A and B are shown apart, each in its own frame.
Chain A
Amino acid sequence: MSKIHLVAAAVALVGSFTVPAVAGDFTGAGATFPAPVYAAWGAEYKAKAGAGLNYQAIGSGGGQTQILARTVDFGASDAPMAAEKLASGNLLQFPTVIGSVVVIVNLDGVAADQLKLTGPVLADIYLGKITKWNDPAITALNAGLKLPDLAILPVYRSDGSGTTFVFTSYLGAVSADWKGKVGAATSVKWEAGNGAKGNDGVAGTVKNAKGALGYVEYVYASANKLTTTSLTNKAGKVVTPTVPSFQAAAASADWASAKNFDASMIDTAGETAWPIVSATFILLPKNPTDAAQSAEVMKFFDWAYTSGDKFAEDLHYIALPAAVKDRVRAAWKAEVKDASGAAIWK
């Protein structure tokens, strides 16, 4: 084959891979945590409605940047955006699915959910105050377990992540010391321990070192059968990380009075509620430049609310309570307007 033929063949090959944008396709970018469920919904929705979702999991910060610059149809963020930023960016924020964060350990002879911890103990471990597994604070909670004289290695996410935001929010809610010294953010100044990149990095580091303790998203822990722990919730009950305990947290959150759907599911009062639960959010312009694209986005999430719960639960996410979904639909109608000021969602 001559060179010219080769070039022609290469051009044809490249050309065949570029799929032209179909009318109705819409783009989103942001959070990595809900990316698997958005992908599943996107594939299912394309088969049913013909419109495709192009979602880029570039991280919550990136998602916020992109939607503020209006380079995508919607942004996605694990950590809720600050109210004033939402206002200045003219954005509507609404939740899609709920996820939870669980604690994992690597200890000989300790089975899943066997080890009992409390929020303050967890905070003290990450503050470097509790350094041994046989510390009285831990043994007092675990009368039946024989815990070794072994150093605790706390492991955290080194990359900025919504998971860290949720986990540090919880530690701040249960420990005044944590709130004062460290605080809550997508990445913080850790007082002790090792950082690892991503859920897989944290899980891998915990697996590598005896005596390690880390936090990961439940989706990840259940898929990889990691050794999780129990936690004591606000009601003083010991709860295990299971879907019913996450649903209990979602149900006991105060959605009615929450602004921008920023209802805290951290350390809720529910008797059986898992204490580290949080929603992941979509950011949608209230004054979209392209009303038709914005309508597609709302149609997609409406479909996901109505028929997507099954796919979400298959992937170990928790669906929103039905009442919350109706609140979101009402917000679409009231707040997202086209150029003439008419509601886009009807």
Chain B
Amino acid sequence: MTVDTTAALPPGTLAPRSLATSGHVDLADKPFRIALSAAALLVLVLLGAIVVLLFKGGLPALTTFGLGFFVSADWNPVTENYGAAVMLYGTLITSLIAMLLAFPASLGIALFLTEVAPVSLRRPIGTAIQLLAAVPSIIYGMWGFFVVAPLMASTVQPALTAIFGPIPLIGMLFSGAPAGTGILTAGLILALMIMPFITAMFVEIFTSVPPVLKEAAYGVGATTTEVFTAVTVPYGRTALVGAVMLGLGRALGETMAVTFVIGNANRIAASLYSPGASIASTIANEFPEAGPGSIKLNALLELGFSLFVISFLVLALARFLVRNRLEG
């Protein structure tokens, strides 16, 4: 897994070589170029088709329920009243928890690997992290459901309640019966899923810091901690944010693992132990039973469109931040 730096380069940076070549190469080049352009165009067409399909499919829901669709917390298949607030909340809050847990952990692991760990340890740990990033999400879901959820119910949640319960306001987040599954567990599983992904990118960013900068800092007497905080992290700051955003993009759309552990309830409650629903989990749960031409199917497609928009905004923000660094 590498950081996608080439994609952020100004267009045409790699192109001039082919223009400079002579005629007989051009003959071979032309069909190749057409094939490549077609492949690239296919991506755009696919993307456009998906956007159009989701938008058109969701439109009846939007015209029926209006913009209230996005603020109504009522998702009732019996009365055919659909609102997306619960799913939007569930998607954002689980991703937020995941980021809060995964960001510091990833930063710690990446700094350890690049600055502190003995060289003999770097490769095995680095490989282990990349392998973790390759574990299919359904495995995380099953593991979360059969191993993590019981552990949360029996140990973690009672302990959290004992620690935070008496504190006003924060205590509310950790109240209620520990069921194991719920918003908190979903956030935790998501954090574990995106952590290897973010860590791998962080390692790439930290190793791309020019050694001369670090050596200079050490040369003027900086400690390892000072080099982290004054050189390594500031140098890669915007790229780090970009990496986090890409991790967030993955967390937002994660489906199976979340469906297993989020508790799947169409309610918003103050407690993080309470069950919730995310956009992706709701679609996974409800889609097979959504009848043809039903308003439910429209509502699900509209949910899909909302998720697409959220993911698009996150990725656009990531691109923007990464670009800033390269130009500045």
Decide if the interface of chain A is mainly helix, strand, loop or mixed: loop
A93 at the interface (CB under 8 A from B): no
Among the 9-residue stretches B57-65, B76-84, B196-204, B305-313, the one with 4 or more Cβ atoms under 8 Å from chain A is B76-84
Q: How far is A227 from B120 in the complex, measured between Cα atoms in Å?
A: 53
| Contact (Cβ within 8 A) B288 A158 | no
B74 at the interface (CB under 8 A from A): yes
| Contact (Cβ within 8 A) A189 B259 | no
A240 at the interface (CB under 8 A from B): no
Q: Which of B146, B177, B288 contacts A159 (CB 8 A)?
A: B288
CB neighbors of B among A136-161 (8 A): 151, 153, 158-161
A294 at the interface (CB under 8 A from B): no
CB neighbors of B among A179-207 (8 A): 182-190, 193-197, 201, 204-205
Q: Count of chain A residues with Cβ under 8 Å from any Cβ of B?
A: 36
Q: How far is the CB of A77 from chain B (nearest CB, A)?
A: 10
Q: How far is A184 from B76 in the complex, measured between Cα atoms in Å?
A: 11
Q: Which of A183, A196, A212 contacts B78 (CB 8 A)?
A: A183
Known A-B contacts A158-B259, A184-B78, A194-B179; the reply to A204 vs B145 at CB < 8 A is yes
Q: How far is A55 from B260 in the complex, measured between Cα atoms in Å?
A: 26
Residues from chain A with a CB closer than 8 A to the CB of B79 are: 183, 189
Mask, A26-70, CB within 8 Å of B = 1, is 000000000000000000000000000000001111101100110
Q: Which of A69, A160, A190, A194 contacts B289 (CB 8 A)?
A: A160
Q: How far is the CB of B289 from chain A (nearest CB, A)?
A: 3
Known A-B contacts A188-B78, A190-B265, A208-B153; the reply to A161 vs B181 at CB < 8 A is no
Residues from chain A with a CB closer than 8 A to the CB of B242 are: none
Residues from chain A with a CB closer than 8 A to the CB of B275 are: 193-195
A8 at the interface (CB under 8 A from B): no
Known A-B contacts A183-B79, A188-B78; the reply to A205 vs B290 at CB < 8 A is no
| Contact (Cβ within 8 A) A189 B179 | no
| Contact (Cβ within 8 A) A187 B291 | no
| Contact (Cβ within 8 A) A194 B77 | no
B187 at the interface (CB under 8 A from A): no
CB neighbors of A among B161-207 (8 A): 177-182
Q: How far is A197 from B286 in the complex, measured between Cα atoms in Å?
A: 10
Residues from chain A with a CB closer than 8 A to the CB of B288 are: 58-59, 61-62, 159-160
Mask, B69-109, CB within 8 Å of A = 1, is 00000111111000000000000000000000000000000
Smallest CB gap from A186: residue in B = B289
Q: Which of B74, B180, B289, B290 contacts A189 (CB 8 A)?
A: B74
| The 10 nearest A-B residue pairs measured at CB | A160-B289, A195-B264, A158-B264, A59-B288, A183-B78, A61-B289, A189-B76, A194-B263, A151-B177, A194-B275
Q: Can you list 28 contacts pairing A with B, beta carbon distance less than 8 Å? A: A59-B289, A60-B289, A65-B292, A158-B259, A158-B264, A158-B277, A159-B286, A160-B289, A183-B79, A184-B78, A185-B78, A186-B289, A187-B77, A188-B78, A189-B78, A190-B266, A193-B275, A194-B263, A194-B264, A195-B264, A196-B264, A197-B260, A197-B264, A201-B145, A204-B145, A205-B180, A208-B150, A212-B179
Q: A69-B292, A158-B285 are in contact. List 11 more A-B contacts (CB 8 A).
A: A153-B179, A159-B289, A160-B77, A183-B79, A189-B77, A193-B275, A205-B180, A205-B181, A208-B180, A209-B153, A209-B178
